[in-house]
Structure 1
């Protein structure tokens, strides 16, 4: 049986380069198109001849992306970037007749998806999160509850994604929570594959000892309302421990003004960008990872911290609920529940045997989530879909 050839596109890097590496190893990669410049992609392990780097817009957006006064220009550039990636992808489809499957990140695949389907091939819309309408509604609700101004998702993005969902042969999402937001109409089309993790980068380093004096908590995500950082800060205040520390690692967002004063507390340590090597070391020093997201796809960081043996406390809306329950590597709490976070932190701080058990479970189970298995499951789902059709 002939191996399928895949064409991938992505507005950035995300998990697509991990899939691309597996496809390249198996001689199944046609090309991967990215909205990043080559200098940000050359360490990803895929030879340049297989990568189309369309990063000019990304470079132009970088200095203005977080500035409110330039928001309209940033939106214009972002929309244009998605259109260009879609256009480039479509041109490659016209040139390479051996391509069997297009995996296009949502917003980047409308025209190229139609094009590959017109040639009798398969179009996968890769949605990294919940249905875009669900995302828009729950974030609007959250900002309103905090008396913060919310910038709704632009009509272009909403219309674009809705049309892609209808057009796609398959909609790929990383969690059952994501799938549940798509409703009955699209249910048969939406398929779930959990992300993998690179165990060579994130692992338990036995040379690094966790503190016996301090109880170290980690937050690893952008400092945003969407990630629920404000709930963790409030939980940290209520958490009764004589030597507690909260490590907040992540980039600033347009919500920075909301978090600036909240983060200026005793025993809250903030970081900017941390490279993978130092990040793995930091994870290894922490006793618990908390991610109280309001809305998410499947927070990749949960797999990374689990691989390094750090128990997790996450909301169902992180998309990782199934993984956490199946692996028994931590706790799943309701969104917006400060007391639930406090209760679980207290339980871990008071029970070293439980802490160690969850840590070992996290390390062992994360080894099962790798990118080779991801690709095998993807091939299997495509086979099933083609047989049904």
Structure 2
């Protein structure tokens, strides 16, 4: 069987790229796999990887001062180019199954289906219209009309992909339920939980007494950073620090971060490239990771933090809630509820032994999310779809 996996990102780069790499390794063990991704460098793999470059129009738009705030248009142009390139390749390549990331594969699906191939939509977020609703709600609270959102054409393309898809593959039960609530049949949506490298992400002894709250990720509207800052200030924990690792995606959030950092010395911002840096340097000096997302298909950083022995606080609209046993290895809180988030921070700060115990439980859960378990789940999906005996 010939399988094509497509994603408009670099293999192993960022959360999306890591999920792509997970899928690539799993699929390559079941069939003859070819991967199409963005970029120009070919990673060393035992299966063919074809980087298709970048969209020069997208780059030009982002480099133009008047237009650079149209991030939605830049993403759309990039995805359209990528989809066109993959479709062109598929016209001359054999393909029995294509698994393509949502928003990036509408034309490729049409080409593959014309050749008789099965089509699997790989959705790394919740149901995209639900995601759009959450972003629009944040637009109002941030009072920023330039906030990053999804272009209407992207949503239209996504609708077409869903109609063409024989199966929709998501990262969490949380994400699956967002599709089911939108009217999709439960059997059309399969959950494939990501795994984490527990050798690279591992616990190390914390060397100071600061109760350090950690956030890792792009500071974008759907990630809920404003609620975390509010929760941290409400908690008012002695000898504490909020460490935010990542850059901002919008003007309003950049201004918010500048004002926050200037006003509160115990809130800090750092920038790390975890593709090359040792992640334990950040996770190892932290007490808890908080992922306050108002929408997140999974939030792989939560599982990475758990592998490093940290309890985590995530929202009920974050897919990582699937691996959080409330009160055992972390807490699941309602989205946009900064007071509940603050209460959990205070509890962990005042109960050091319990915090450490929860961190050990978190590590155990991360160790259970192995590549072998991922492979077994993927094989079960193939069997259920009649693609494997």
Match for residue 337 of structure 1? 337
Partner of 2:13: none
Q: Does 1:11 align with 2:8?
A: yes
Structure 1 Cα separation of the partners of residues 32 and 68 of structure 2: 36
Q: How far apart are 1:83 and its partner, in Å?
A: 2.5
* 2:197 equivalent to 1:194: no
String of CA shifts for 1:155-181, please: whole Å, max 9, x gaps. Answer: 110100011001100111111221222
Deviation at 1:102, TM superposition (A): 1.0
Q: 2:67 aligns to what SS in structure 1? A: helix
Question: SS of 1:107's equivalent?
Answer: coil
Matches of 2:130 and 2:64 in 1, distance apart?
26
8 A Cα contact 1:327 1:362, kept in partner: no
Q: Which runs of 5+ in 2 are unaligned?
A: 11-15
Give 5+ residue unaligned stretches, structure 1: none
Partner of 2:202: 203
User: How far does the alpha carbon of each residue in 1:334-354 deviate from its partner, in whole angstroms, 9 at most, with x for none?
Assistant: 111111111111111111221
* Gap change, CA 1:384 and 1:335, over 3 Å in 2: same
Say which SS state the counterpart of residue 206 (structure 2) adopts: coil
Cα deviation for residue 92 of structure 1 reads 3.6
> CA shift at 1:321, angstroms?
1.3
Change (3 A) 1:289 1:370: same
Q: Give the deviation of 1:112 after TM superposition.
A: 1.9
C-alpha distance in 2, partners of 1:66/1:229?
26
| 2-structure distance, mates of 1:298, 1:55 | 27
1:374 deviation in Å? 2.2
Please say if residues 5 and 101 of structure 1, whose CA atoms lie closer than 8 Å, have aligned partners that are also in contact.
Answer: yes
2:159 aligns to what SS in structure 1? helix
The answer on whether the counterparts of 1:245 and 1:268 sit within 8 Å (CA) in structure 2 is yes
- Deviation track 1:250-302 (CA, whole Å, cap 9, x = no partner) reads 12211312322123321112112333543222101111111111111100101
| Residue 56 of structure 1 pairs with residue 54 of structure 2 | yes
Separation in structure 1 between the aligned mates of residue 373 and residue 282 of structure 2, nearest angstrom: 28
Q: Against the structure 1 CA distance between its residues 67 and 189, is the aligned structure 2 distance closer, same or farther, given a 3 Å change threshold? A: farther
CA distance in 2, matches of 1:350, 1:210: 18
Give the structure 2 partner of residue 382 of structure 1: 382
Counterpart-to-counterpart distance in 1, 2:376 and 2:85: 27
Between the aligned partners of 1:230 and 1:161, the Cα distance in structure 2 is: 29
How far 1:109 sits from its partner (Å)? 1.7
Q: Return the offset for 1:67.
A: 7.1
**Matched positions, count:** 374
Cα deviation 1:101-156 (Å, max 9, x = unaligned) = 21101122222222323333321111111111111112111221333324542111
1:284 aligns with 2:284: yes
The superposition leaves residues 184-238 of structure 1 with CA deviations (integer Å, 9 ceiling, x where unpaired) of 2343312111111122321113xx3242x21111011111221111111111112
TM-score of the superposition, structure 1-length normalised? 0.88
Three-state SS of the structure 1 residue aligned to 2:195 is coil
Q: Matches of residues 1-389 of structure 1 in structure 2 within 5 Å?
A: 4-13=1-10, 14=16, 15-24=19-28, 26=29, 28-38=31-41, 42=43, 45-46=44-45, 50-57=48-55, 61=58, 65=62, 69-71=66-68, 75-97=72-94, 99-149=95-145, 150=147, 152-182=149-179, 183-205=182-204, 208-211=205-208, 213-254=209-250, 255-264=253-262, 265-276=264-275, 277-325=277-325, 328-386=328-386
Please report how far the alpha carbon of residue 327 of structure 1 lies from its aligned counterpart in structure 2 after TM superposition.
Answer: 9.8
Q: Give me the whole-angstrom Cα distance separating, in 1, the residues matched to 2:196 and 2:132.
A: 28
Which range moves more in the overlay, 195-204 or 339-348?
195-204
Moved more, 317-326 or 244-253: 317-326
Larger mean Cα displacement after TM superposition, 247-256 or 269-278: 269-278
TM-score (norm 2): 0.88
